[in-house]
A and B are shown apart, each in its own frame.
Chain A
Amino acid sequence: MDEGFLSNVNWDNMLEATWETVYMSSIAIVFTFILGIALGLLLFLTSRNQLWSNPVINWITAAFVNIFRSIPFIILIILLIPFTVAILNTMLGPQAALPALIIGAAPFYARLVEIGLREVDKGVIEAARSMGSNQFQIVFKVLLPESMPALISGITVTSIALVGYTAMAGVIGAGGLGDLAYRDGFQRNNADVTLVATVITLVIVFIFQGIGDLLTRKLDKR
């Protein structure tokens, strides 16, 4: 079997696995971004002395975030199987991993969003209020734009964790590079497959990191 370097790599499979990883990560990043910002806003706005200051809602949101942030991802995937089947009607292919990926990553990101929003200058919010802004305008014209560099660098960190999570999604048959490295590489003892899958994963991570850094730098006018 072992006839030379990379001889065990089936490039079609590798390409497909790469595509699956990119697909899972990208869709999950988009939804994590949206859900995480929504949760982060809720955490921030309901906290003390903020616009919607509400201890009960704040407590419930924080509890939700903390619980889902603490469950190990591999267990979360399994716990979420019934939920995934209910909403996607299937447990096959990369999209089956999406609910777990998003629900696993969004609470983590929500905390980063909350930290980012706390950094927004209180005086600026006060100025916006003094000019007659309503709450919607304060959120969309002040809070989010002013914290955007933090939100982007936060989603960059999260997206890298997400690429890592996708590697575990093989457990439920979602495919991807992690799955290929485990089944084709580790179980069949093809070190070159593992190596190539690892290198491709690293490239994906670097690309995400690069895009995130670029955006953060471009947006940060402070």
Chain B
Amino acid sequence: MIRINDVSKVFKTKAASINAVQNVDLNIEQGEIFGIIGYSGAGKSTLIRLLNLLEVPSNGSIKIADYDMMALRGKELRKARQEISMIFQHFNLLWSRTVRQNIAYPLEIAGVPSAKRKARVDELIQLVGLEGRGDAYPSQLSGGQKQRVGIARALANNPKVLLCDEATSALDPKTTSQILDLLYDINQKLGLTIVLITHEMHVIHKICGRVAVMEDGKVVEQGAVLDVFRNPSEEITRAFVKQITENDESLEVIEDQLDDANGTVVKLTFIGERTEKPFVSELIRDVDIDVNILQGNIARTKDGSYGTLFISLEGSEDKVKAALAFLENHEVQAEVITHG
């Protein structure tokens, strides 16, 4: 669906030239949700803006659907852009227009006659769950509702691709989750290809199938989300994995407990594991050891559980060894922190 080949972008300023995007290769398939994660300044926004040519690449080639983007000019480019929609961190709605009028904007641009426009706007309002708010102005909406308008507007002309630039970064966790659910629904219902940029891991593991990790303008790692996060090969990827498996709070708490704990403290890390099986009770039964749960932080998602669990194993040295072997056999990542 999207073929990005050796694409670079250099910004020339008076002071210096900035290599915002360097030799990026990506293939994004029809109907998938592809995530791009990186820290601030990594070049994510620049990369996604290259896709619809809001920014012109310095070199490389970009093919989206049947369009060779860089060969397009004027009218052709504008036509192509109607099929490659975009939503934004700060929503970018026209405050002078109501919700309905905002959603109608791309239809006006596409020259849809007004009767059809009205019907389509009704459909979209329903799709994004904004029934009854059609005549409100953006200033009267919450952030989540504004992004729903942004999504409805982006879908108006039945695009093939939806580009999301930090679409949930201005929203609280609960609203983020709702908007991500909506994007996932739309992807399932309409088969729309979604490219999503973020600096937050939980956004990636919530809805993305594949991910690319960006650092200093380069894609340093890419692949299926679970593969990349189970076996991160880059330092930065490991840092992102930590975002979801442990939070600083839990580490602090556990450090306080380490001195008091008798037994061997083990940190279990879950990245997409099936924790449905009651492996803790199995462990206690099979190995005959005491397991004390010290601290845990696990989130269940559509493809397994993410998080960490600190346990203390209390028993003879042999039992502890047996327990560790048990964990290894059950493909739970275990790391011994202290020996009792």
- Choice from A128, A137, A222 contacting B95 with Cβ under 8 Å: A222
Asked whether A130 lies within 8 Å of B96 as measured between CB atoms, the reply is: no
Q: Does A219 contact B (CB under 8 A)?
A: yes
* Closest beta carbon of chain A to B242's beta carbon, Å: 32
Given A141-B105, A221-B137, answer yes or no on A131-B95 (Cβ-Cβ < 8 Å).
Answer: no
Ranked nearest first, the 7 interchain pairs of A and B with the lowest CB-CB distance are A127-B92, A132-B81, A132-B78, A123-B92, A221-B137, A130-B86, A131-B106
Q: Does A177 contact B (CB under 8 A)?
A: no
- Choice from B77, B97, B109, B137 contacting A131 with Cβ under 8 Å: B109
Q: Does B94 contact A (CB under 8 A)?
A: yes
- Choice from B94, B106, B139, B153 contacting A132 with Cβ under 8 Å: B106
Q: How far, in whole Å, are A142 and B108 apart by their CA atoms in the complex?
A: 12
Which residues from B are CB-within-8-Å of A134? 75, 78
* Closest beta carbon of chain B to A48's beta carbon, Å: 12
Q: Secondary structure of the B side of the interface? A: mixed
Residue of B88, B94, B110 with most partner-chain A CB within 10 A = B94
Which residues from A are CB-within-8-Å of B90? 123
**Interface 1/0 per residue, A117-129 and B, CB below 8 Å:** 0000101101111
Asked whether A126 lies within 8 Å of B106 as measured between CB atoms, the reply is: no
Asked whether B79 lies within 8 Å of A219 as measured between CB atoms, the reply is: no
Q: How far, in whole Å, are A142 and B157 apart by their CA atoms in the complex?
A: 19
Q: How far, in whole Å, are A81 and B236 apart by their CA atoms in the complex?
A: 73
Q: Does B52 contact A (CB under 8 A)?
A: yes
Asked whether B54 lies within 8 Å of A129 as measured between CB atoms, the reply is: yes
* Closest beta carbon of chain B to A147's beta carbon, Å: 9
A-B contact pairs, 15 of them (CB 8 A): A121-B92, A123-B92, A124-B93, A124-B94, A126-B88, A127-B88, A127-B92, A129-B54, A130-B85, A130-B86, A133-B109, A145-B96, A146-B96, A221-B138, A222-B95
Asked whether A148 lies within 8 Å of B81 as measured between CB atoms, the reply is: no
Q: Does B308 contact A (CB under 8 A)?
A: no
**Of residues 67 to 108 in B, which have CB atoms within 8 Å of A's CB atoms?**
75, 77-82, 84-86, 88, 90, 92-97, 105-106, 108
Q: How far, in whole Å, are A132 and B153 apart by their CA atoms in the complex?
A: 13
Which residues from B are CB-within-8-Å of A142? 94
Which residues from B are CB-within-8-Å of A137? 108-109
Asked whether A131 lies within 8 Å of B96 as measured between CB atoms, the reply is: no
Interface size on A, residues (CB 8 A): 21
**Interface 1/0 per residue, B247-276 and A, CB below 8 Å:** 000000000000000000000000000000
Q: How far, in whole Å, are A164 and B97 apart by their CA atoms in the complex?
A: 36
Asked whether A221 lies within 8 Å of B95 as measured between CB atoms, the reply is: yes
Q: How far, in whole Å, are A42 and B23 apart by their CA atoms in the complex?
A: 38
* Closest beta carbon of chain A to B137's beta carbon, Å: 4
Which residues from A are CB-within-8-Å of B157? 131
* Closest beta carbon of chain B to A201's beta carbon, Å: 34
CB-CB nearest in chain B for A221 = B137
**Of residues 128 to 177 in A, which have CB atoms within 8 Å of B's CB atoms?**
128-134, 137, 141-142, 145-146, 148
- Choice from B75, B94, B109 contacting A146 with Cβ under 8 Å: B94
Contact count A vs B, C-beta below 8 Å: 64
Q: How far, in whole Å, are A121 and B138 apart by their CA atoms in the complex?
A: 14
Residue of A121, A126, A145, A221 with most partner-chain B CB within 10 A = A221
Which residues from B are CB-within-8-Å of A219? 96
Q: How far, in whole Å, are A146 and B92 apart by their CA atoms in the complex?
A: 12
Additional A-B contact list (18), CB under 8 Å, known A128-B105, A132-B82, A141-B108: A123-B90, A124-B92, A126-B54, A126-B92, A130-B52, A130-B84, A131-B106, A131-B109, A131-B153, A131-B157, A132-B80, A132-B81, A132-B109, A134-B75, A141-B105, A146-B94, A221-B138, A221-B139
- Choice from A130, A141, A145, A222 contacting B139 with Cβ under 8 Å: A222
Given A145-B94, A146-B96, answer yes or no on A131-B139 (Cβ-Cβ < 8 Å).
Answer: no
Which residues from B are CB-within-8-Å of A133? 78, 109
Which residues from A are CB-within-8-Å of B94? 124, 142, 145-146
CB-CB nearest in chain B for A148 = B96
Q: How far, in whole Å, are A133 and B77 apart by their CA atoms in the complex?
A: 10
* Closest beta carbon of chain A to B131's beta carbon, Å: 21
Which residues from A are CB-within-8-Å of B84? 130
CB-CB nearest in chain B for A149 = B96
CB-CB nearest in chain A for B74 = A134
* Closest beta carbon of chain B to A143's beta carbon, Å: 11
- Choice from A123, A126, A132, A141 contacting B79 with Cβ under 8 Å: A132
Q: How far, in whole Å, are A128 and B106 apart by their CA atoms in the complex?
A: 8
CB-CB nearest in chain B for A133 = B109
Q: How far, in whole Å, are A101 and B271 apart by their CA atoms in the complex?
A: 73
Q: How far, in whole Å, are A145 and B93 apart by their CA atoms in the complex?
A: 13
Q: How far, in whole Å, are A130 and B150 apart by their CA atoms in the complex?
A: 12
* Closest beta carbon of chain B to A46's beta carbon, Å: 20
Asked whether B96 lies within 8 Å of A221 as measured between CB atoms, the reply is: yes
Asked whether A131 lies within 8 Å of B93 as measured between CB atoms, the reply is: no
Which residues from B are CB-within-8-Å of A129? 54, 81
Which residues from A are CB-within-8-Å of B109? 131-133, 137
